[in-house]
Amino acid sequence: MRSFWKTIVAILRELADENAYARFLHAEGAVASKETWRRFSDHRLKAKYSRARCC
Amino acid sequence: MPKLLSRVLWGVIAITGALCLGGIATYRGESINSIWLILAAVCVYLIAFRFYAHFIAAKVMLLDNLRATPAERLRDGHDYEPTNKWIVFGHHFAAIAGPGPLVGPTLAAQFGYLPGTLWIILGCVLGGAVQDFVILFCSMRRNGKSVGQMAREEIGKVGGFVALITVLMIMIILLAVTGLVVVNALKGSPWGTFTIAATMPIAVLMGLYLRFWRPGKVLEVSAIGFVLILLSIFGGEWVSKSESLAPMFTYSGIAIAVMLIVFGFTASALPVWLLLAPRDYLSTFVKLGVVLMLALGILAVRPELQLPAFSRFADGTGPIFAGKIFPFCFITIACGAISGFHSLISSGTTPKLIAREWHAWPVGYGSMLLEGFVAIMAMIAACALQPGVYFAVNSPAGIVGATPAAATATISAWGYAVTPDQMSALAAEVGEQTLFSRTGGAPSLALGMAHIFAKFGGEKILGFWYHFAIMFEALFILTVIDAGTRVGRFMLQDLLGHIYKPLGRTGWMPGVLLTSALVVCGWGYFLYNGVNDPLGGINSLWPLFGIANQLLAAIALCVATTILIKMHGAKFMWVTCLPLSWLIVVTFTAGWQKIFSDSPKIGFLAAADALARGAQTASTSTLIFNNRLDAAVCGTFLVLVAVILVDSIRVWIGLLDGSKPSVLSEAPFVLTQLKPEQV
pLDDT at B666: 93
Contacts of A53 in chain B (CB under 8 A): 95, 98, 341, 479-480, 483-484, 487
Q: How far apart are CA B278 and CA B288, in angstroms?
A: 16
Cβ within 8 Å of residue B649, ≥6 positions away:
none
pLDDT of residue A52: 76
pTM of the model: 0.95
Read off the pLDDT band of B466 (50, 70, 90): very high
Alpha-carbon distance B414 to B406, whole Å?
A: 13
Q: How many CB atoms lie within 10 A of CB B653?
A: 12
DSSP assignment, residue B69? Answer: P
Residue B212: its chain A contacts at CB < 8 A?
A: 34
In this complex, the residue of A19, A44, A55 whose CB is nearest that of residue B341 is A55
B665–chain A nearest CA distance, Å: 23
Average pLDDT over residues B468-480: 91
pLDDT at B14 over 90: yes
**Cβ distance of A32 and B215 shorter than 8 Å:** yes
Q: What is the pLDDT of residue B504?
A: 83
pLDDT(B313) > 90: yes
Is A53's CB within 8 Å of B487's CB? yes
| B288 close to A16: Cβ distance less than 8 angstroms | no
Measure B217 CA to nearest chain A CA, in Å. 7
Q: What is the 3-state secondary structure (H, E, C) of B528-557?
A: HHHHHCCCCCHHHHHHHHHHHHHHHHHHHH
Backbone φ and ψ of B542, nearest 5°? -65, -45
> With an 8 Å Cβ cutoff, are A54 and B97 in contact?
yes
Largest CA distance in chain B: 77
Q: Do A24 and B211 make contact, defined as CB atoms within 8 angstroms? A: no
pLDDT at B364: 97
What's the one-letter identity of residue B223? A
CB pairs under 8 A between A and B: 130
Task: Tell me whether residues B344 and A45 touch, CB distance under 8 A.
Answer: no
Q: Is the pLDDT of residue A54 over 70?
A: yes
Q: Which residues of A touch B98 (CB under 8 A)?
A: 53-55
Confidence of residue B143 (pLDDT cuts 50, 70, 90): very high
- Closest approach of A29 to chain B, Cα-based (Å): 11
Comparing B172-176, B268-272, B380-384, B450-454, the range with the smallest average pLDDT is B268-272
Tell me whether the omega of the peptide bond preceding residue B362 falls within 30 degrees of 0, making it cis: no
Q: What letter would DSSP give residue B60? A: I
- Please give, rounded to a whole number of angstroms, the shortest distance from the CA of A31 to a CA of chain B: 12
Lowest mean pLDDT among B194-203, B404-413, B505-514, B651-660: B505-514
pLDDT of B616: 79
| pLDDT in the model for residue B1 | 67
pLDDT tens column, B558-610: 999 999 999 999 999 999 999 999 999 999 999 999 999 999 999 999 999 99
| pLDDT tens-digit series, residues B649-660 | 999 999 999 999
Q: Of A15, A37, A45, which has the smallest distance from its Cβ to B272's Cβ? A: A45
Contacts of A15 in chain B (CB under 8 A): 90-91, 94, 281, 284-285, 288
A30-39 pLDDT, tens per residue?
999 999 999 9
Output the pLDDT for position B166.
83
A43 contacts in chain B (CB < 8 Å): 78
Of B212, B218, B480, nearest to A55 by CB-CB distance is: B480
pLDDT of B457 higher than 90: no
Is the CB of B487 less than 8 angstroms away from the CB of A24?
no
Residues of B in contact with A49 (CB under 8 A): 272, 276-277, 483, 486-487
Q: Long-range CB contacts (< 8 A, 24+ apart) of B50-58? A: B50/B10, B52/B125, B52/B126, B53/B129, B53/B133, B53/B361, B53/B365, B53/B366, B54/B361, B56/B130, B56/B133, B56/B134, B56/B365, B56/B575, B57/B133, B57/B358, B57/B360, B57/B361
Residue B648 confidence (pLDDT) above 80: yes
Inter-chain CB proximity B219 and A16 less than 8 Å:
yes
Element (H, E) at B106: helix B100-108
Chain B residues inside the 8 Å CB shell of A50: 486-487, 490
**DSSP 8-state code for residue B304:** E
Whole-number mean pLDDT of chain A?
Answer: 90
Q: Do B219 and A18 touch (CB under 8 A)?
A: yes
Q: What is the pLDDT of residue B562?
A: 96
Q: At what angle do helices B420-429 and B387-394 cross, to 10 degrees?
A: 80
pLDDT value of residue B228: 97
The minimal CB distance from B218 to the residues A16, A33, A55 is found for A16
d(CA B247, CA B589): 46
Question: Is residue B415 pLDDT above 90, yes or no?
Answer: yes
Q: Are B185 and B393 spatial neighbours (Cβ–Cβ below 8 Å)?
A: no
Nearest CA in chain A to B95: A54
Are B450 and B466 within 8 A, CB to CB? yes
Nearest-Cα distance to chain A for B99, in Å, is 6
Helix (H/G/I), strand (E/B), else coil: B32? strand
B522-566: per-residue pLDDT in tens? Answer: 999 999 999 988 887 888 899 999 998 998 899 999 999 999 999
Percentage of residues in chain B having pLDDT higher than 90: 79
Out of B98, B216, B217, closest to residue A54 by CB: B98
d(CA B637, CA B326): 19
Categorize the per-residue pLDDT at B431 as very low, low, confident or very high, splitting at 50, 70 and 90.
Answer: very high
Distinct helix (H) and strand (E) counts, chain A: 3, 0
Q: Which residues of A touch B487 (CB under 8 A)?
A: 49-53
Categorize the per-residue pLDDT at B12 as very low, low, confident or very high, splitting at 50, 70 and 90. Answer: very high
Beta-carbon separation of A43 and B218 below 8 A: no
The distance from CA B313 to its chain's CA centroid, rounded to whole angstroms, is 23
Compute CA distances B415 → B23, B72, B380, B563, whole Å.
25, 61, 21, 51
**B167 and A52: CB-CB below 8 Å?**
yes
Mean pLDDT of the region B507-533: 91
**CB distance A54–B344 less than 8 Å?**
yes
Q: CA B348 to CA B79: how far, in whole Å? A: 10
Position B618 pLDDT exceeds 80 = no
Give the span between the Cα atoms of B99 and B336, in whole angstroms: 10
Contact predicate B112/B308, CB 8 Å: yes
Mean pLDDT of B506-521: 89
- pLDDT category of residue A1 using cuts at 50, 70 and 90: confident
Cβ–Cβ below 8 Å for A14 and B90 = yes
What pLDDT band is residue B79 in, cutting at 50, 70 and 90? confident
**pLDDT on residue A21:** 94
Dihedral through CA B619, CA B624, CA B628, CA B633, nearest 10? Answer: 20
Look at A55 and B98 and tell me if their CB atoms are within 8 Å.
yes
Question: What's the confidence (pLDDT) of residue B490?
Answer: 87
Nearest beta carbon to residue A51 from set B100, B339, B344: B344
Number of helices (H), then strands (E), belonging to chain B: the values are 29, 2
The total of other beta-carbon atoms located within 10 Å of residue B224's CB is 17
Distance from C-alpha of B418 to C-alpha of B303, rounded to nearest angstrom: 20
Instruction: Round to whole Å and give the CA distance between B362 and B290.
Output: 22
Which residue would you say has higher pLDDT here, B214 or B30? B214
Question: Residue B435 has what DSSP assignment?
Answer: -
Tell me if B487 and A43 make a contact (CB, 8 A cut-off). no
- Compute the CA torsion angle B289, B290, B292, B295 (nearest 10 deg): 170
Q: Is the pLDDT of residue A55 over 80?
A: no
Q: What's the whole-number mean pLDDT along residues B495-520?
A: 88
Distance from the A18 Cα atom to the nearest Cα atom in chain B, whole angstroms: 6
Q: Name the closest residue on chain B to residue A4, using Cα atoms.
A: B86
Substitution target from B85, B87, B149 for chain A, most A beta carbons within 10 A:
B87
- In this model, does residue B238 exceed pLDDT 80? yes
What would the pLDDT profile of B586-595 be if each residue is shown by its tens digit? 999 999 999 9
Q: What is the mean pLDDT of chain B?
A: 93
Q: Among A15, A18, A52, whose Cβ lies nearest the Cβ of B90?
A: A15
The interface predicted TM-score (ipTM) is: 0.96
| B218: nearest CB among A18, A23, A24 | A18
DSSP 3-state of B523: helix
pLDDT at B111: 97
Q: Provide, as residue numbers in chain B, all residues whose Cβ is less than 8 Å from the Cβ of A5.
A: none
Residues from A contacting B (CB-CB < 8 Å) are 7, 10-21, 23-24, 26-28, 32-34, 36-38, 40-55
Contacts of A7 in chain B (CB under 8 A): 84, 86-87
pLDDT band at A8 (very low <50, low <70, confident <90, very high): very high
d(CA B235, CA B258): 24
Q: Reply yes or no on whether the pLDDT at B185 is more than 70.
A: yes
User: Looking at residues B200-213, what average pLDDT do you find?
Assistant: 96
Contact B83 A14 (CB under 8 A): yes
| DSSP conformation letters of B89-105 | HHHHHHHH-SSHHHHHH
Judge whether B444 and B184 are in contact, CB under 8 Å. Answer: no
What is the average per-residue pLDDT within B606-625? 88
What is the distance between the alpha carbons of residues B234 and B243, in angstroms, rounded to a whole number?
16
Strand runs labelled E in B294-413: 304-305
So what's the pLDDT on residue B100?
Answer: 87
